[in-house]
Amino acid sequence: MAYLQRKHCIAKRTVDVFAVDATVFEVLLQIVLRVCAFTGTYGVNYGRIADNLPSPESVVTLLKAAKIKNIRIYDAAHEVLEAFKGSGIEIVVGLGNENLRDFSVSQDRAINWVKENVQPFLPGTHIRGIAVGNEVLGSDDQELGEVLLPAVKNVYNALDLLHLTNVVQVLSPHSAAVFASSFPPSAGAFKESVLPYMKPLLQFFSQIDSPFYINSYPFLAYKSDPGHIDLNYALFLSNPGIYDAKTKLHYDNMFEAQIDAAYAALEKAGFDKTEVIVSETGWASRGDENEAGATVKNARNYNYNLYKRLAKKKGTPYRPKTVVKAYVFALFNENLKPGPTSERNFGLFKADGSIAYNMGFTGLVPSSAASSLFSVKHTGLQGWFGSSYSLTYMSCAAAVLLILSS
């Protein structure tokens, strides 16, 4: 059997393959597809803090109809992973913050967790990453920050011992709380209190070729200061934009400005080669009276314009050659989430599977929000999401055949 090593989109055959059955071919295809772990540029966070959501099997149907090929869940629920078997949808699973302390001191705990929650579902379920913790650094819990890197290393070592590092990536998403400044984008910098934990984490991630994942929310920025932030700038609509005098770059939307602020912070920390991927972004369709901008109209504008922006497969003003990739938050409105009303209204879909507002997606049930106003088929985006994955998959399959025949 072949053992393939892959890094930076290079697959090398190290042992000759004399006979390959369908199962082995699938394993090899999984390895090559690791190169394309984020197929396309658009993904969605599938949160499940609710008691009224469709079954995971129905969610697969919903995602396929919407041509969404990348999702992130916040745990490793077996019923979800089983339902996604054979769907071709790429999944990032989550290891909650409550587990970090135990995992930081126990390699065996990490190995057992991977054996129980990841390995049994491969290769049928396309698990592509493990998010270790969520928004750990920058919080008030200093102890949690201290155990993050040891936990990350133990999860990676577990994957390595099980020969899964060429298939499953290790990552850890951050919030904007890790930054001391982010405006203008060139002023992006990490907090001094975060750096003692962030720099060693970034060093390890650079060694294993893992990107920097950031949760980016123009909605939260606008909500906190609506008097000084142009709503159109936050929604990708026509506006004067901002000018960064240091880089001499113009920004016409906050989303790209926030990404470039992350790149600036990474450069200052000594990691200018690290890619930035947005692990969460979105806009609430409803909120409390004091939550400025939380309306259906604004949510639709933000998410639809983001959708179009990602479909262009372009970079940011500061990193024009690095294609922007993002997971939208969230797939559903989640009725049991604590906090302000907005927290329960970030969904592209309502709990019954109907669309929350029209972006061209097809819901599980008809909705009054449906119209041709923002129909995907009228923009050509539906073909982009469908054909790009198919072409990527076929290219990867061809790569496997090439490796086996060489």
Q: Is 275 an active-site residue?
A: no
Which member of 90, 256, 280, 334 is catalytic?
280
List of E strands, 300-356? 326-329
- Could you write out the three-class secondary structure of 239-299? CCCEEECCCCEEECCHHHHHHHHHHHHHHHCCCCCCCEEEEEECCCCCCCCCCCCCCHHHH
Q: Is 192 an active-site residue?
A: no
Strand, coil or helix: 143? helix
Amino acid at 359: M
CB atoms within 10 A of CB 231: 16
Amino acid at 225: D
Q: At what angle do helices 296-311 and 381-405 cross, to 10 degrees?
A: 40
Partners of 328 in the β-ladder:
44, 281
Provide the Cα torsion 25, 28, 34, 37; round to 10°: 10
Q: Is 292 left (phi over 0), alpha (psi -120 to 50) or beta?
A: beta
**234 Cβ partners below 8 Å, 6+ apart?**
218, 219, 221, 222, 253, 254, 293, 302
Of the candidates 90, 30, 29, which has an alpha carbon nearest to the alpha carbon of residue 60? 90
Amino acid at 106: S
Please provide the DSSP assignment of 46-100 as one string. Answer: -----SSPPPHHHHHHHHHHTT--EEE-SS--HHHHHHTTTS--EEEEEE-GGGH
Which member of 90, 135, 256, 291 is catalytic?
135
Provide the Cα torsion 391, 365, 368, 289; round to 10°: -90
Provide the Cα torsion 279, 384, 69, 156; round to 10°: -50
Side-chain half-sphere CA neighbours of 17 within 13 A: 20
Residues annotated catalytic, as ranges: 135, 280
